[in-house]
Structure 1
Amino acid sequence: MSPCRDVDSLTSLCLHNIADNMESVWMKDYTDKYMEDYRFMYIEGPFNQIAGPLVQQLIRILGDSRKLSKAGLQLLLQPHLTELSLRPCAGLINNAMAQLVTVRCKFLTSLDLHSCTRIPSASLVSMVERLPRLQKLCLSDTQSDSLVLATIGTSCPRLRELDVSRCKKISASSVLSLAYNVKSGQFCCQALRVLLLQGVRPQGDQWVYALCFLLLALPGLEQLANPSLADAMRLLYLRDLSPSGFPPENFPSLAEVARTRSGRMSKCNEGVRIEDTRTATQDAPLRLKKLEDLGEEDVSILGSLCRGLEEVAISLRNPPESSWSLMQWPNLTLLNLHCPDHPLRSLEDILPSIYPVGHSLRHLSLQNLLWRQEETLPTLLAWCPNLKSFQSHFTVLCHTVSHNALEMPPWLGNPLPLPHLHTFSLLLEGDDPIPNIFKHKLGGFLVSLLKGCPKLESLSLCGVPTLLDTVFETVYGSTQPEPLQKLREVSLCNSNVTQWGASLILRAKNDLKTLDLSHCKDVMCRDFQKLQERTRKDKRNVSITWQ
């Protein structure tokens, strides 16, 4: 049996010890002597000798445990910090504390001010101006406005990631200031790769036009998160670059921005500048690598705008008028297909669309779909040998004729090779009785799967009607090397399993930390107690959930 791995690292123990004694030991002298005069560059003491990541970890520990005070935070703001997240203590951050950050931490490359709502806009401007090395900045749910965005554009040339989600003062017109300086007439923030604009107030078509402007003016964008993104891409696809009433005064038109972008791309490719705005977006394709909540009807037409896509979430509604394929995205590594409401589409419907990118996929999520034929899921996973995680939620809708027990084909038990898979989740629902042949073939599939996943760490089988005792008996009874040695988390919630099947997992050689048997109707209270007794006997620290 593998040794217990629950012992905290020495570093973690030391940090928690400091956190426990912060008020009584580390802050006492500072609070008595220096609390009212904190505008010095740094404080000589233990914290300027600790590596920056450890100081940040200590801030998180204190913030999460509600042990961090203003004095403690002042003590921890050290000049050698390059990354600082004030998210765990957002309630402590006011105008004075924001100024202290700019005085003490001049070399920050990453700053997270999520939910620091007490910092006024003017102070945010001052902070941004004094931190020109920033590469990552989170201002979500703050008082950021157009002036803050304009300052970011002119003062943070190295910025690669910006989050201004849920900022109530940001409008469609204000985001233009991020990418274009009206005073100098120059495009700015050209290093930006990720821009998050979730939860901002929609303003009709103006947001769509503003997103078009950003897509054209920021040529390096790899992710632009906003519900209107698909509409903006559709306008670019249709080359509708002359909307009425846009842009605001002193900003270049979409057509002018498109010509500038095309000219830059042409120079990079040693080509000739193209002045026709109708072809500008074709000659300078978008570099987006991630799209969220893309409509199924837009897959084919929008795919031509960003051939380098790596992550996409596609919403499946009514069957599209024409078929679609993911072939245009050969670099796709993450795919999420889901029905947002009731399950209307089946796994069998979308199977041909996934086949072209099966080998490139690393993460696959199929949510709220129908599952009609038992062989479909094994076929799909066989197409995706490089998967690292698979998550699924199916409503079983199977009309297979039931078979007698003697007619059930034997489980071959051949491993389904998924050598990189570390997470597998299968959630099954359905009101109709599931035929025995479906249950039997599902069990055989699970045996093959578990035999072929040597790196599996997290296993979730919820609502599975197959008797899992037999599955685990077959898997652990094989003559091959001990299976599932990396297993850490197992959930069998509402599945067909007994105390015997659960005990097989507990007795196996693995790194198990949690076992969820919630709503397993064949696991009784006495069974739960036996399982707990086994963990105590084997001196294993496994958390078992049952109800």
Structure 2
Amino acid sequence: MPLFRALDEQAEAKARPRRRDLRNSKGAGSCWRTHGDDPVHSLTRLCLLSLADNMKDLWVKDYADNYLDRYSFRYIMGPFNLLPGELVEELTWLLSTRKQLSRAALHLLLVPHLRALSLERCPGLVTPALGAQIAARCQGLRSLDLSGAQQLPPKVLCETISSLPVVRSLSLAGVPCDRSVIQTVARCCRFLQRLDVSRCHLLSPAALLPLGAVAFTPSSSSSISSSSVSSTWSPLPLSSLLALDIGFGEQEEDSTMAAAYLLLSLPFLESVALEGVGPACHLIDQRQFSQGDEFTNREGVSRLHDVWRERMLRQGTESWMKTKEGGSADDGEESEEVRSSFLEECGCESAENVIEDDLPSCLKTQTEEGKHGLSQSGLILQLRDVKGVTCESLGSLGNLCPSLTSLSMNLDKHEDIGGRSQGSLLTTNLQTWSGQLQSLSFIYSGQMVDLLPALQVSGCSLISLTLEGVKTSPHSPLLQLIRVCPRLRDLLISAEPPVTPQHQTNDNQQDDQDLPKLPYLRSLKLCFSYEHNQMKPFMSWMSLKQVIKCVLIGSPLLEKLSLISLPCPVNCVLQDTIQRANTDASHCSDSTALPPLPLGRIEHIDLLRTDVQMSTVKSMMQLSKRLKYVDVSYCWRISQREWLDCRRFRQVEVVWV
């Protein structure tokens, strides 16, 4: 295998044609669907599957036997250099998802024209040596995911990242990342749009400040080195910043101040997950910037009031430009001309005089004519997705972020705010985004019924709903929840089972026609906690059977189903659903357009710790030709013999322990 230092022009030209990214659409465009829903792979996908199956015995074996630990190649001239970068990306993805990606295979696939590399599924392969190879071979990467790579020290991370000047998306979740890595990102990755540093425990909230264009103030310059004073740069064009579970042991005030600084200094943020983001929104909304003076002086950065003033000037300039010419202010010299014109019309000589205590009249008039009202700070953030807020800061979030479409909240069941119950305040504040919220997530340790009023306000537009840690009882309003959220595509409920048993009643015999349906549902997960010494869950919620049957029959587009440790019989519900599907199919046997059947499109099933039987699993395999994975671990009515026999059933992977 000869070496080379640059792609020849012919090979580079072959690598340029673009096509649809198949990895992010579950193979969309890579296979056809026949009338019977049998997947027919495209020729391209079949070729890649063949490559994946033969790599170990051909190219990987030759490279591992003759070159892997004997030489250190800058580049490797091999068959994959002639493949377009998109095909190399998809091949890498196929190998990683099938757990066939090895160190030797990865060496062969690190080609110079690679544009996206995700090693999230195989973090054990990511070593300092591999980091050096990525830096040398793949300097044109637009997307890099190293999540969970614990073997990369900060120094190696810095060296790798500094060699990726055009990267747009970078995931370092769970990596030993520290302040030096963030400084390298801010200095070298000037086109970065998405950054994930969640679970980086070596990273303090204040270490994120360089992302927002640190500008050191003269008054604090004496406390930092002269080299740091000169190290200033413009803010990154970040649209997504995820940094939850960082800075263990740091003061809570630091999280709030750092979040406020980043919200003010990163103008393009649309998705954010930061510690202290809720209190930071309250601080900005109420213009309590003096609370951050101690923090900014200690870190040697501009005061929050100054950062807010600069942000307001930018907002006012853009608003003024749109009003005057129907356009927007551009960067560079034209932007400076627009800025000067705006200052002149405001009657101000410099930016420092634009916003001190009140907004200028021209900006105030323009912003107050908008659909939503102004917060006390006059600032409108472009955030659409926010994670980690509490009910207390929801009002300020509504004032600052009128365009929000996704919200994740942590609720305290005992918390009362300002003399009002938390449920009442939650319902009132969610009306700010009524009709526009598409994703809503609650972490709540109270009763599920407490959340129903809030869902009645926002449920009509919800596409995704997650409830974690909620308590249930035999009277929990699951049917009402389904009724108020008719457009759901994803429903995840992780709950505590009822503590009191339910006696059988005739309420379960409600006509199927009267039950609510979720016709767009694609993913359903109902997961209940259990004690480890229990062989099976305590059957205490018998009416839950009717709810599950309602969802399964009323959701013909369902692709992923997870029913884990349910406190009710499941096998009978699945049998009824299969019987209903077979009946509908027989009634439509002469029809050329067969409608979607219950469980007819299912691809992934988790039935851990339930009473399901293997005969029911086989019936589901016969019903859905798309089914690829079934997990029946700890299902006490399935024997090892039945499992071994079922493993040979078609192409379905069946897991049982």
TM-score by length of 2: 0.68
Alignment counterpart, residue 309 of structure 2, candidates 229, 234, 259: 259
Contact 1:338–1:367 (CA under 8 A) maintained in structure 2? yes
Letter in 2 for 1:25: D
Matched, 1:240 2:288: yes
In the alignment, the residues of structure 2 paired with residue 347 and residue 179 of structure 1 have an alpha-carbon distance, to the nearest angstrom, of 40
Alignment counterpart, residue 458 of structure 1, candidates 531, 540, 560: 560
* Structure 1 stretch displaced more, 253-262 or 411-420: 411-420
1:158, CA displacement in angstroms? 1.4
Contact 2:524–2:561 (CA under 8 A) maintained in structure 1? yes
Q: 1:196 to 1:277 in 2, by over 3 A?
A: farther
Matched, 1:35 2:45: no
In the alignment, the residues of structure 1 paired with residue 108 and residue 655 of structure 2 have an alpha-carbon distance, to the nearest angstrom, of 42
Alignment counterpart, residue 437 of structure 2, candidates 329, 332, 337: 332
Alignment of 1:445-524 (within 5 A): 445-462=547-564, 463-466=566-569, 467-468=572-573, 469-470=575-576, 472-474=578-580, 476-478=582-584, 479=587, 481=595, 482-495=597-610, 502=617, 504-518=619-633, 523=637
* Structure 1 stretch displaced more, 347-356 or 148-157: 148-157
Contact 1:138–1:164 (CA under 8 A) maintained in structure 2? yes
Q: 1:299 to 1:92 in 2, by over 3 A?
A: closer
Alignment of 1:390-409 (within 5 A): 390-394=491-495, 395-396=497-498, 403=505, 409=509
1:421 is paired with a residue whose SS is coil
Contact 2:539–2:567 (CA under 8 A) maintained in structure 1? no
1:107, CA displacement in angstroms? 1.9
Alignment counterpart, residue 389 of structure 2, candidates 294, 316, 338: 294
Letter in 1 for 2:357: D
2:431 is paired with a residue whose SS is coil
Aligned to 1:362: 463
1:426, CA displacement in angstroms? 2.7
Alignment of 1:18-57 (within 5 A): 18-26=55-63, 35-36=71-72, 38-39=73-74, 42-56=75-89
Aligned to 1:14: 51
Q: 1:424 to 1:164 in 2, by over 3 A?
A: closer
Q: 1:127 to 1:392 in 2, by over 3 A?
A: closer
Q: Deviations over 1:406-462 (max 9, x none)?
A: x8745344564422211122345799874xxx73x5444444332321211223334
Aligned to 1:203: 250
* Structure 1 stretch displaced more, 483-492 or 386-395: 483-492
Alignment of 1:54-453 (within 5 A): 54-56=87-89, 61=95, 65=100, 67-69=102-104, 75-85=108-118, 88=122, 93-94=127-128, 98-114=131-147, 124-140=157-173, 144-167=177-200, 170-182=203-215, 188-201=234-247, 202-204=249-251, 205-242=253-290, 243-248=292-297, 250-270=300-320, 273-276=354-357, 282-321=377-416, 322=421, 323=424, 324-325=426-427, 326-330=430-434, 331-339=436-444, 343=445, 345-372=446-473, 374=475, 376-394=477-495, 395-396=497-498, 403=505, 409-414=509-514, 416-427=516-527, 434=540, 439=542, 442-453=544-555
In the alignment, the residues of structure 2 paired with residue 156 and residue 464 of structure 1 have an alpha-carbon distance, to the nearest angstrom, of 51
1:351, CA displacement in angstroms? 0.6
In the alignment, the residues of structure 1 paired with residue 633 and residue 396 of structure 2 have an alpha-carbon distance, to the nearest angstrom, of 45
1:195, CA displacement in angstroms? 2.0
Q: 1:147 to 1:357 in 2, by over 3 A?
A: same
Q: 1:378 to 1:175 in 2, by over 3 A?
A: same
Structure 2 stretches lacking a partner, 5+ long: 1-34, 216-228, 324-345, 347-353, 360-373, 531-536, 589-594
Q: 1:401 to 1:216 in 2, by over 3 A?
A: same
Aligned to 2:331: none
Q: 1:35 to 1:57 in 2, by over 3 A?
A: farther
1:524, CA displacement in angstroms? 5.9
Q: 1:348 to 1:23 in 2, by over 3 A?
A: closer
1:113, CA displacement in angstroms? 4.1
In the alignment, the residues of structure 2 paired with residue 534 and residue 129 of structure 1 have an alpha-carbon distance, to the nearest angstrom, of 51
- How many residues of Structure 1 are paired with residues of Structure 2 in the alignment? 525
TM-score by length of 1: 0.80
Letter in 1 for 2:103: L
* Structure 1 stretch displaced more, 217-226 or 296-305: 296-305
* Structure 1 stretch displaced more, 504-513 or 453-462: 504-513
1:137 is paired with a residue whose SS is strand
Letter in 1 for 2:511: W
Q: 1:470 to 1:420 in 2, by over 3 A?
A: closer
In the alignment, the residues of structure 1 paired with residue 609 and residue 155 of structure 2 have an alpha-carbon distance, to the nearest angstrom, of 54
In the alignment, the residues of structure 1 paired with residue 132 and residue 581 of structure 2 have an alpha-carbon distance, to the nearest angstrom, of 61
* Structure 1 stretch displaced more, 244-253 or 259-268: 244-253
* Structure 1 stretch displaced more, 189-198 or 50-59: 50-59
1:335, CA displacement in angstroms? 1.6
Q: 1:301 to 1:507 in 2, by over 3 A?
A: same
Structure 1 stretches lacking a partner, 5+ long: none
* Structure 1 stretch displaced more, 108-117 or 328-337: 108-117
Structure with a larger share of its residues in helix: 2
Letter in 2 for 1:465: C
In the alignment, the residues of structure 2 paired with residue 512 and residue 216 of structure 1 have an alpha-carbon distance, to the nearest angstrom, of 48
1:309 is paired with a residue whose SS is coil
Q: 1:493 to 1:413 in 2, by over 3 A?
A: farther
Q: 1:163 to 1:424 in 2, by over 3 A?
A: closer
1:485 is paired with a residue whose SS is coil
1:83, CA displacement in angstroms? 2.0
Q: Deviations over 1:186-210 (max 9, x none)?
A: 6623411122323432421233212
